Amino acid sequence: MSHLDRRQLLRAAGVSVCLPLFSSLRAGGNETSGQSSGRKPRMVCIGNMLGFHPEAYWPTAANAKSDEGLTIHRDFSLGRSTAPLRAISDRMTMIAGLDHDTAGGHFSVHTFLSGVRQIDAKTMPDANVTIDQYAAETIAGQTRFPSLTVGSESGIHGGCQLSWTRTGTRVPPITGPEQLFQILFVGNSEKDKVAAADRFKLQGSILDFVRSDANRFGRTLNRQDRDKLDEYLTSVRDVEKRIGLRRNWIDIPKPEAPFDRPKNRNMVEDLPLLYDLIALALQTDSTRIATLEIGGDFNPRDLGVDGDYHALSHHGQLTERIEALVKLETYQIEQFVRFIEKLSAMNEGEHNLLDQTSVLFGSGMGNANSHNNVNLPVILAGGGFEHGRLLAFDKNSSHRPPLTNLFVSMLQNFGVETDRFSTSTGTLRGLA
């Protein structure tokens, strides 16, 4: 079966990204509960590739009563790098003490939104699908783009690895504001529409060929291999559904561009613009799900800081390096705050966009200097949750939940009827 590798089939179909099993399609295309009420929940997940210096990131708080390993603080002092969060303190919650119980240093950063290492994906029912792709399956066809993944293709681990499909495939990122602008606002001409129609026709023809060839080959297989072949053909059918949904958008105009096409500069200068474009994508309902990875080509010199970002994260407790690192991390927090304030200023009906958007900010790296993946930095903003708090879970408590419990809560808030995700044991306690 090696020459019938799933990825080869998918590439033959001209699709190099995810092949999820769309839950909403299997249910006949019914909208989720959140959608049927007229509400349009959104989700944005932002991941930092190198984490944050813990001593500058984590807040301090007075002692409070703990209940089964959870302490809820309403009065706490932010750290040096997180000080900008004061501006949005009523719209965000910091969560301490959670992780995925994985190890591997930088090579486990990709578990941030899934809870599953890629090497362990085959042992999991949903592989290492990330929360964004899981949610996108439930609203397939309702927006032009089921999800948007933004990040760099450079970096210490071979490019953006924030989003993964349930087939164990990395979702390639949109690599800069110029490319994201192009996707969101360019392509309304008749020439573009004809080219898109021709592309869909070619992909359909390739899928017909793949299916025919696979069926013919299947007559020579034993039962075990026929079962494997059925899995491949299921993937082919999923591609056909996805192509059909994308084809429906050919004649629907894209929104008018709010400004001229930008040029890519560098990650430091591009970061606020990427946030602005993601906000516009949500506001125009081009998508309701987006992820953004910060890292890769984030160059300290573009902030006037000497050194390499990765090298600075391994500061060896040297004061000069720590101060440089904190400057980089503070800038990232500042841009996150700016994004939250922008969503707060965008109105949709009786509510602002932030009220309908769950925004997760954090990292799959707990402390890059010591290469650990415990006590991950996690901030949740918006989404209608109760905020203005620090939820601190005791890492030594037998009641400490996995980070994936937060993802169950976020999925339910998004309108997905589920009580599990990946390694979860339920929803996250203390989150209201």
Identify which has the larger pLDDT, 36 or 418. 418
Q: What is the pLDDT of residue 19?
A: 34
Is residue 20 scored above 50 in pLDDT? Answer: no
3-state helix, strand, coil in the chain (%, to 5): 45, 15, 45
Tell me whether residue 374 is exposed, middle or buried, using C-beta atoms within 10 angstroms of its C-beta: 0 to 12, 13 to 18, 19 or more: middle
Q: Band of the pLDDT at 196, cuts 50, 70, 90?
A: low
Condensed to tens digits (0 to 9), the pLDDT of residues 255-300 reads 999 999 999 999 999 999 999 999 999 999 999 999 999 987 888 8
Q: Report the predicted TM-score, pTM, of the whole model to 2 decimal places.
A: 0.82
| Residue 397 pLDDT | 82
Q: How confident is the model at residue 24 (pLDDT cuts 50, 70, 90)?
A: very low
**pLDDT score at 159:** 80
Q: Residue 354 has what pLDDT?
A: 98
Measured distance CA(13)–CA(34) in Å, rounded: 33
Band (17; pLDDT cuts 50, 70, 90) = very low
- At residue 156 the predicted structure's pLDDT band, cuts being 50, 70 and 90, is confident
- Please report, to the nearest 10 degrees, the dihedral formed by the alpha carbons of residues 83, 405, 396, 92 taken in order: 20
Annotated domain spans of the chain: 1-30+191-253, 35-186+262-414
Residue 16 and residue 10 in contact, taking contact as beta carbons nearer than 8 Å: yes
Name the CATH topology of 35-186+262-414.
Alkaline Phosphatase, subunit A (3.40.720)
Query: Can you tell me the mean pLDDT for 196-210?
Result: 59
Grade residue 199 by pLDDT with cuts at 50, 70 and 90.
low
Quick one: pLDDT at residue 28?
A: 38
- Which two structure tokens, joined as six digits, stand for 189? 């001409």
Indicate if the pLDDT at residue 102 is higher than 70.
Answer: yes
Residue 250 to residue 194: CA distance in whole angstroms? 9
